[in-house]
Amino acid sequence: MELEDIKSPADIKGLSIEELEHIAEQMRQAVLNRTSQIGGHVGPNLGSVETIIAMHYVFDAPKDRLVYDVSHQAFPHKMLTGRVDGYLYRQDFPKVGEYTSPVESPEYDIFWAGHTSPSLSLCVGLVKARQLKGEKYNVVALIGDGALSGGEAFEGLDAGGALNENFICILNDNQMSIAEDHGGMYKHLQHLRETNGTAADNLFKAFNWDYVYVAEGNNVAKLIEALQKVKDTQRPVVVHVNTQKGEGYTPAEEYREAFHYRDPFDIATGELLIVNPGENSTSVLKNFINRSAQKYPTFLAISSATPDSFGLNAKEREILGKHYIDVGIAEQTGVSVMAGAARDGAKVVYSVVGTFLQRAYDQLLEDWAMDPSPALMVVAETGIAANKDQTHLGFWDIPMISSIPDILYLAPANLEEFDAMLEWGLSQDRFKVAVRQAVYSIEHADYEVEKDYSDINRFKVIKRGSKVALIGAGDFLIKARQTAELLKDKGIEATVINPLFISGVDKDLLASISKDHTLVATIEDGSIEGGFGERVATVASPLGLKTLVFGVEKKFVDRFNLKELETENNLRPEQIADIILANL
């Protein structure tokens, strides 16, 4: 049996251990084949090949339910469930996504999984449904040691431990989150590994789960043996599997953080095919962090397991020492630590990926906005150009953050403005400041950027015209400017505005332009509904200004083409200009 011939999990059922090991080897090649060409999660997938082969060998999907937390390890699963071509053949790569998706495979992919930590709680739901239907099958979750640090994973352990039902949690312990693990629990996992699972104070037993340890987590025979023992159990059980992240590919074993997710690389050396060390918002942020650590004795940079959003490598983090804390994949805690440290006078900056910040909406509102805790939060990977996976869209941060009182959300239009907003945000001690780090355009300022943003909700007029006002927020200011050029060709000298603030509206400015303008168009790099433009429209309407709001429709899209998405949403300057002209 060769990997390319596998159509469904049934195809591996009769194989010998040697044949399974042969498949495992081919899977590793397939992971490298795909990721080296189009990028992807290298290390997690290489490390879990044997675990997932054993899962499909022992359990009977789709009858048995296999749930992948965050699904960073979903490639082997996809290869065994009819999607192997997506790893073998260049032309088939686009047919298969990075994460599990019920659209891609309604039969084998039970949930969309792109955010960490919900798998156990989702499985509690599956267990309850099974109980209510009176059926019998296994419910199995695969979760990584990194994902275990997210609060919902513990909630799931707690809720699962209260069920006297079949429920199998496979803990894929590769001793890594995206970067190294952080948290008191990881010393305990280490003790468990060092004692072949016999260490005292077993975390999982404390949650009322049974516990099994598998020392050789890249040994398919051992894994099959362990899973066969727990199959059809009538108690919740954790199978703790010790694996090697990046197993079988030396560069990935050696540089585990760099190979967690890797852009296209040369398989022979592991080197990136395209290295882009130029100035960008991440380099601006990184310089700001290092500068601030020198400047403020109480400086604290916080990460929730995504240090790359600071652009800081392991060595640079070490240099920061006590000025840096990684709280694990735990955005709730990231926000609360920011609020707590700021409350007692530390100079705090928290950098967080926007889509993951969704986990901390309550903490933003209850712990940060409400408390006397001036601090700076950088919201990374926002907007339509950030990430094209449905689970990671950068569309929702403006509605989320801008609906919370007392957080200023700033959107820089260029690198210099980004830098200035960071500087001001950290230096001041009156406001809670969030700065949006978007990736659509990387511009340099052609005007003198403001140093002080304490005159809140004061929009900046880039060019004063009449009749039409174009408000281009953040990295979409460029679209407002391009639209203005097009309107100029039609004889309209439009006003161009950089709002700076996307959490409020400059009412005075709108009142002032209502005298010689009839139409306002807002253009933002995010969802229309709940967003910035709608707030402008609400203020502008009673002033007699017709408002057109440009942004993206409130809709899930997956692995979209950026140009097509822009066209579908009327976001090309020509479209914007045409619609404005039709509305005059």
Bond before 62 cis per omega within 30 degrees:
yes
Size of the site for its own copies (CB under 8 A): 120
**Residue 12 or 110 having the CB closest to its own copies:** 110
| Of residues 335-374, those binding its own copies (CB under 8 A) | 336-346, 348, 356, 358-359, 361-363, 365-367, 369-372
- Collapsing DSSP to helix, strand or coil, 174 comes out as coil
Helix axes 49-58, 17-38, angle to 10 degrees: 130
Site string for its own copies, 263-302 (x = CB under 8 A): ----------------------------------xxxx--
The verdict on 325 binding its own copies (CB under 8 A) reads yes
Judged on CB neighbours under 10 Å (0-12, 13-18, 19+), 417 is: buried
**Minimum CB distance to its own copies smaller for 419 or for 524:** 524
Specify burial of residue 305 (Cβ count, 10 A radius: 0-12, 13-18, 19+). buried
Regarding 150 and contact with its own copies (CB under 8 A), the answer is yes
- The residue from 5, 14, 91, 200 that contacts its own copies (CB under 8 A) is 200
d(C-alpha 286, C-alpha 21), whole Å: 44
Q: What is the C-alpha to C-alpha distance for residues 570 and 577, in angstroms, rounded to an integer?
A: 10
**Residue 476 sits in the site that holds its own copies (CB under 8 A):** no
Closest distance to its own copies from the beta carbon of 360 (Å): 8
Q: For its own copies, which is the closer residue by CB, 53 or 123?
A: 123
Name which of 371, 314, 323 is nearest 347 in CA terms. 323
Site for its own copies in 397-456 (CB under 8 A): 399-400, 402-406
CA–CA separation, 32 vs 417, rounded Å? 40
CB of 342 to its own copies, least distance (A): 7
Nearer to its own copies, 198 or 512 (CB): 198
Which is closer to its own copies, CB of 43 or CB of 183? 183
Collapse the DSSP code of 363 into the 3-class scheme (helix H, G, I; strand E, B; otherwise coil) and give the result.
helix
Nearer to its own copies, 261 or 361 (CB): 361
Question: What token pair was written down for 473?
Answer: 């927020």
502-531 positions binding its own copies, by CB under 8 A: 527-530
Nearer to its own copies, 252 or 338 (CB): 338
Q: How far apart are CA 67 and CA 71, in angstroms?
A: 8
Residues 39-68 that bind its own copies (CB under 8 A): 65
- 306 is a contact residue toward its own copies (CB under 8 A): no
- CB of 55 vs its own copies, minimal distance in Å: 18
Task: Quote the CA–CA distance of 34 and 27 in Å, as a whole number.
Answer: 11
Closest contact distance (angstroms) between CB of 16 and its own copies is: 34
Question: How many alpha carbons lie under 13 Å from residue 571 in its C-beta half-sphere?
Answer: 28
Cβ distance to its own copies smaller for residue 121 or 313? 121
User: Is 160 near its own copies (CB under 8 A)?
Assistant: yes
* Residue 71 interacting with its own copies (CB under 8 A): no
Residues 281/415, Cβ–Cβ less than 8 Å: yes
Restricted to residues 87-146, the positions that interact with its own copies (CB under 8 A) are 102, 106, 110-112, 114-115, 118, 121-126, 128-133
Nearer to its own copies, 309 or 363 (CB): 363
Q: Tell me: does residue 328 bind its own copies (CB under 8 A).
A: yes
| Pairing outcome for strands 347-353 and 376-382 | parallel
201 burial (CB, 10 Å; 0-12 / 13-18 / 19+) is exposed
- 422 in Cβ contact with 285 (< 8 Å): yes
